[in-house]
Structure 1
Amino acid sequence: MRKTKAEALQTRESLLDAALEVFYQRGVARASLQEIAKTAGMTRGAVYWHFKNKEDIFDALFQRQFSGTREKQLNEDIITGTTDALTTLQQTTAQKFKQMAHDRAYYQFFHVIQLNCEYTDDNQTISRLLQKYRREWHDHLQTVFQLCLQQKSLPQNTDITLAALYFQSLMLGLTDVWLSNPQQFDLDDAAERLIAVAIDTLRSSPHFAKKPPAEQQNDSPLTA
C-alpha cells in the first residue's frame, strides 16, 4: 500500500533521527547506511528511497537544524532591518547555546559536526559540506555586521570580515571546549557572558578598525 505524504515525511524524519544517533555513537566516517536503517527499524531500501547516500543524509541534518521556519524568520528580520541586528545576533546566539545544553538532539548534532566529523580520505565529501556551511555562516555574519554599520550599532570603520572571523572563531571555540567536557562549566551562563563580551569588544576595540590599503598590502606574505 502506498504511503501518504505525511507517512513518508515521518519515515524520513525517523531516518534522520537514526542517522544522528549513529553519527553520534560511531562517527560519520565509520557510520554505514545499513546501520542507519537498522537503528531506524527499516530496510536499506527505505534509506535509498529518501536519500542518495550518506552525504545526502548529512546535508539533510544541516537543513533540518538551520532551515526551520523560526530560523528563517529570524534571519529575515535581521537582514531586512526589522530588528536591531546586533541585539538580535546576541540573543539568538545565546539561545542556540541554551538549546545545545538542554536539547539532546541539538547537542548530538553539534557533537557530530565538531568532534565526530573526521577529516579522512573517505570522508572528504562530508568535510567539504561542513566547510561550505561554515563559509555560509561567515558570510551571514558579514551581512549582519554590514547591517550593524547601517544601523550605527558598530563603528563605521569596522572591518566586517575580521569581525565575522572573530565572532565565528569564539563561538566555535566555546562549543568545542564545552562538548569536550560538558560538566566543566555552565554553558548557559558562560555563553551569555562571553557573547556579551564579544559584542562589547566589537563595539569598542580599535583593533577591529579597517587598515589602510597600503598597510594591508604590506602585511601580505605574497608581496614579500
Structure 2
Amino acid sequence: MNMRKSPAAGMEDDIGSRNPMRRTKEEAAETRRQILRSAEDEFLARGYENAKLEDIATAVGVTRGAVHWHFKNKQGLLYALRDEAKRPFMELAERLAEEDTGQPLDALGDVICGVFTRLSTDPRQRGMLQVMFRLDATPVGGPSADPFRQALLDAMTKVLEIAEQRQGLPAPWTAKAASAAMRGIIEGLLLEWSRGELEFELLPHGQAVIRTILTSWKI
C-alpha cells in the first residue's frame, strides 16, 4: 500500500543527507550535536548577530532546513547551547549517587571551577554570555519557572543532599537552601564577569569565592 509520507518524516530524511532512507534516531542525534557545535563555533567567531544559519549548516554538510528542524532558529540554537551547561552538574549528581566515597562539596567545586576555567580561557565566551543575557536565555534574569534554572537547581540540590547525608551541613543550612544560594552566587558571578566593568575575573576571583563558600559548608 502506498502510504503518504508526513512532512516531519520528509524533514528528517533531509537532515544531513539526500539518502531517501529515513535516518535512525542515533544518526539524527549525532547530526544535532554537530549542528550545535558548528553554531557555537560560528557564534564565537562572528558573534551572534553576524552568524548565519546557512554557514552553520554548510559547516556540517546539512541543509538550512535541517537546522530549522532541530532548533527552529538562531535563538533556539542559543537556548540549546545554554542548556548544555547543566549537563556536568547532572552527571555529577548521578555519579555521586552511585559512589559511596568522595567529598561531594569538593566535587561540586571542581565542576563549577572547571566551568569558570573554560569560560576564562576563551575571551569570546564573555561576548556569548552578554548575548544570552540580552535574550533572557541564561539563568541570570530569567523567570523563576525557567526550566534551565530549575534543572540546574535540582542537580545541585541532589549533590548537596548527598553531602548533607554523608557529612552534614552546618546550621542553618539545608541542601535546598544551600543549592539556591549557590545558584544565585554562580549567576551573579557570571553576570559581573560578562559585563567586564570591574576588576574581577572568574579565574582566580570567582573560583576563590566558590571554594570559600563550599569550604564553609563542611563540618
TM-score range relative to shorter protein: 0.5 to 0.7
Please give the residue correspondences for 1:204-223 in structure 2 after superposition, counting only pairs within 5 Å.
Answer: none
- Hey, what's the Cα distance between the residues in 1 that align with 2:79 and 2:70? 13
Match for 1:36: what amino acid? L
Map of 2:54 onto structure 1: 37
- Hey, what's the Cα distance between the residues in 1 that align with 2:94 and 2:135? 33
Aligned length: 189
Q: Confirm or deny: 8 A CA contact 2:157 2:176 kept in the other structure.
A: yes
Cα distance, 1:195 vs structure 2: 1.2
Q: Would you tell me which structure has more helix in proportion to its own residues?
A: 1
Gaps of 5+ in 2: 1-17
Q: 1:23 to 1:103 in 2, by over 3 A?
A: closer
Spell out, residue by residue over 1:136-184, the C-alpha distance to the aligned partner (whole angstroms, 9 max, x if none). Answer: 1112222222222211242365233321222111111111222222994
- Hey, what's the Cα distance between the residues in 2 that align with 1:129 and 1:14? 31
Please give the residue correspondences for 1:184-223 in structure 2 after superposition, counting only pairs within 5 Å.
Answer: 184-203=199-218
Match for 2:55: what amino acid? K
SS state at 1:116 partner: helix
TM-score w.r.t. length of structure 2: 0.64
- What is the percentage of aligned positions where both structures have the same residue? 22
Map of 1:46 onto structure 2: 66
When the two chains are superposed, the root-mean-square deviation of aligned CA atoms in Å is: 3.9
Q: 1:183 to 1:38 in 2, by over 3 A?
A: farther
2:113 is aligned, of 67, 86, 94, to: 94
TM-score w.r.t. length of structure 1: 0.63
**Does structure 1 residue 76 correspond to structure 2 residue 94?**
yes
Q: Confirm or deny: 8 A CA contact 2:86 2:148 kept in the other structure.
A: no
Map of 1:15 onto structure 2: 35
Q: Confirm or deny: 8 A CA contact 2:157 2:179 kept in the other structure.
A: yes
- Hey, what's the Cα distance between the residues in 2 that align with 1:13 and 1:59? 14
Please give the residue correspondences for 1:125-164 in structure 2 after superposition, counting only pairs within 5 Å.
Answer: 131-155=146-170, 158-164=173-179
